Chains A and B, each alone.
Chain A
Amino acid sequence: MRVSQTIRLLLVVAVAYAIVELGIPAIGALMKPGTWPVVPVHLVRLYLFFIVIVILLYAAADEERWSRVRGDFRFFFGAPGARIARTATIVAISLAGGYGAYDAVRPRFETPPELRAVHPAPPSSFSIGGKMYDLLTLDNPLRADKQNFAGDVKAGAAIFFKQCFFCHGDKLDGRGLYADAFHPPPANFRDIGTIAQLQESYLFWRIATGGPGLPREGGPWMSSMPVWHRFLSETEIWQVILFLYDFTGHAPRAREP
């Protein structure tokens, strides 16, 4: 038996949906065991919307195919023989719509999702205790000092394991003891999405001023990252930055020529 054109297209949509809902998390679970990295609902909707659009375009691109699809619809909504299937579909769609409406308005206790800029734009300069730092030109003074490099990294490591690893984890992967308690979660420095794409001056600003130093777009939730300039000296902050890059093997983003 030849499956009708429309059913074949619907099957493609179903497969695509399954890949998005199950396939991607499954791959993610392989890469990061112990988690089930679902695709966020907002993105699922966007994905499906475009998949459906492309399939519709594909169906409409050829006269013959298009008339077959239209014929299927005419059959489904008109032929007496399809009565039961038709009624069932209409009931199912209505129920699904009703549930969707209910689901959207029912009270829940989850914090609503919001777009948080993980890396908001830094100010062009900031000051600590009267000392101005110009972020456009600031560089790590210890990086040039090749002689004491190993010592500095070691000092940085000592600071990290005294101060930071509760949150950022002993593997620097953001999975410290307290990590699950915080929203937003502590940064994972091994990702290519964090320190690997930032200049050291950016890190200096973030570490020195912490969560409270974030601009408004870094909200809406308060980051628990402490304000380290109250506890660490300038040199110590530079040392821990050296350690972060050294341990993860990332290079800081170079200043463009």
Chain B
Amino acid sequence: MRALASMLLFVLVLVAFEAALSLAPWHEGAMAAAGAPAVEATAAQPGAPKLTVADYPRYRGFNSRLTVWIAAQLHLFFAAFVLGVPIFVLVIEFIGWRNGDPRYDRMAHEFIKISMGAFSLTATSGGILVFALAVFYPGLFAYLTRIFGPVMMLYALLFLAETACLYAYYYGWDSMQGRRKPGHLLLGLALNVVGTLLMGLSNSWATFMMAPSGVDSQGVFAGNVWVAVAGPLWTPLNVHRFLANIAYGGAIVGAYAAYKFIAARASEAKAHYDWMGHTANGIAVVAMLPLPFAGYWMTKEIYAYSQQMGITLMGGVFAWLFIIQAVLIGTIFLAANFYLWCGMARLDGANRTAHLVKYIAGVLVICFLVWFTPHTLVMTARELATIGGAYHPVLGPLGVMSAKNTAVNIMILATFFTYQLFRRSMVHSTRPWMARASRFQVALYVAAVANIIWLGVYGYFVPANIRIGLSVPQVMTTLLVIIVCIVVDEVIASRSKRIGAVHWGRMPARAQYALFTLAVAFTWLMGLMGYIRSSIRQHWHVYTVMRDGSVDAFTPTIGHATAIVSVCTLLFLALILFVFWLSGLSRAREAPAGLAEAGATP
């Protein structure tokens, strides 16, 4: 208790600091200041301004780059969370409405409540980011607003719309039940559409800085904003972030459920939060499954845009960070799987399948080792001599993308298989066709794994640009298995009798730490990847068009960068803990009101 109190105190100080900053007059106006007069001064130059050190204001006690970096990262964390949650909240609400089970509705409401708490922090951090950018990087800010001015205005409008939708959706939850539910669902849909548009617009600024389009080599803007928005990296980044945000939202609310589970005394509350944690973990896993594919697609587009950028990303100094990325992604997979394994304890019928866990663990570990075997091995001169060159005959082939894709697809299948075991343990197949269907599923798995491995091996015999394309059939195989298995399972489940109930709440506390791990690893991963993405521009503000003339136009060392990412992660986690605590407060206050718990958090 003492520890929690001191932690909260720490978080409070931080938030007070942030709030003080956000009270400044520019907070509300900053977004709208996009086309402000200050900008006009540089507009006289036709192309991108050529900046020198003198063009960057410096303030004692502030490192410009660090300030913008941390502000941007915190804003991205919150924004990703706030955009991701409503997507699955809407889905859960919809399911609850269709099957008439009020527990779904309650869970969806509780999820959105957490994201409400985070919403104001999203706005605050966004304000800080815009302010920091305008103050520390006025030249870049002016250039970007010159091109994206109209888009930024639209962004501000959409932000207002997002706020309106979110508040209406959240506060209207209890009054729009029953016959008015469809209206509420439509409201949720509007919220998500606006949110996704919002994300797309802000992504365009980031992708423009990496792969500028709509301007010539001197940075002269041709006048069409849409061309500048829809640059070569825009769509891949949108897709990857859209999916990652859902997974991220799931991971964070999973941590919330875990926190509540551990704190809960009553077995009823434990059961509720156990179910919530299970759902959140499921959301994170399902949204994560297509991510590797989206990630490689983005990388491919980066490569296609500029070989230099691609090599910097995958082969150069950042290769080390990709090892960390691989380890983090592996951690996510392991944590999610561990949680699923522990979840078998909730079932009476699970003993039939529990012995399979060790094989799943074995497959996971092999795939994981392949997944993080680096492309460039670190070795001593003696090792170099015994190996007979920098190229390792066994590990070398594991370093390239064919092997990684193969490993990750099998890892996904293994994870899904665990999930499927859990669901299948609940039903007892009685008819012969069901046994046949199960055998068909096993055959499907075997065929899929064989196909994935075959495609992976085949990849070594074709040129690099075709090899990357092979990841498409691999992913399609995986998705096919998942979809077919879900359909078959649904059919079987609907026609057979359930054996034993699911004992929600019968879950060891240590499994909850897997959910925490998931949230921390996701946050860290996001910070790291965002850093990598923006720093492969190297000394450019806008790649090949506008140079960074500031004293910070160098790539920081890996140690420094990861330290900053860790600071951002800690800051975010402290703030989100505060949000959890806040939503707990309102709940305690309104406890007697039962289901009517609206009107709580800001």
Contacts and interface: CB of A to CB of B under 8 A. Distances in A.
Interface in A133-181: 135-136, 174-175, 179-180
Contacts of A248: none
A28 B392 CA distance: 8
Interface of A: 24, 27-28, 31-32, 34-43, 46-47, 50-51, 53-55, 57-58, 60-63, 110-124, 135-136, 174-175, 179-180, 183-185, 188, 191-194, 196-197, 199, 201-202, 217, 250-254, 256-257
Given A24-B395, A51-B365, A110 B308 contact: no
A117 B392 CA distance: 15
Nearest to B368: A50
Contact of B342 (A51, A61, A136): A61
A145 B382 CA distance: 45
A37 B361 contact: no
B345 interface: yes
B303 interface: yes
A188 to B, nearest CB: 6
A36 B386 contact: yes
Question: Which secondary structure dominates where chain A touches chain B?
Answer: loop
Interface stretch (B138-146, B371-379, B431-439, B522-530): B371-379
A53 B381 contact: no
B505 to A, nearest CB: 14
B334 A54 contact: yes
B364 A117 contact: no
B320 interface: yes
Contacts of A116: 376
7 contacts: A37-B395, A54-B361, A61-B357, A120-B315, A175-B389, A191-B396, A253-B465
B460 interface: yes
A32 B391 CA distance: 11
B218 interface: no
Contacts of B187: none
Given A32-B388, A60-B510, A185-B389, A117 B316 contact: yes
A244 to B, nearest CB: 15
Given A60-B510, A135-B307, A193 B395 contact: no
A62 B380 contact: no
Nearest to A191: B391
Interface string B394-418: 1111011000000000000000000
Contacts of A35: 386-388, 393
A121 B315 contact: yes
Interface in B294-341: 300, 303-304, 306-309, 311-312, 315-317, 319-320, 327, 330, 334, 337-338, 341
B451 interface: no
Contact of B394 (A28, A113, A119, A251): A28
B376 A118 contact: yes
B546 to A, nearest CB: 15
Nearest to A117: B316
A58 B334 CA distance: 10
B385 interface: yes
Contacts of A174: 389, 391
A115 B319 contact: yes
B463 A58 contact: no
A32 B365 contact: no
B279 interface: no
Contact of A113 (B320, B357, B365, B380): B380
Between B303, B311, B341, B391, the greatest number of chain A beta carbons within 10 A of the residue's beta carbon is seen for B391
A110 B380 contact: yes
A43 B319 contact: no
Given A118-B315, A196-B464, A34 B380 contact: no
Contacts of A196: 463-464
A57 B308 CA distance: 41
Contact of A31 (B368, B393, B544): B393
B307 A202 contact: yes
B480 interface: no
Given A110-B381, A257-B304, A192 B400 contact: yes
Contacts of B397: 192
B307 A254 contact: no
A179 B256 CA distance: 58
B369 A50 contact: yes
Contacts of B374: 43
A37 B379 CA distance: 11
A42 B378 contact: yes
Contacts of B463: 196, 250-254
Interface in B355-373: 357-358, 361, 364-365, 368-369, 372-373
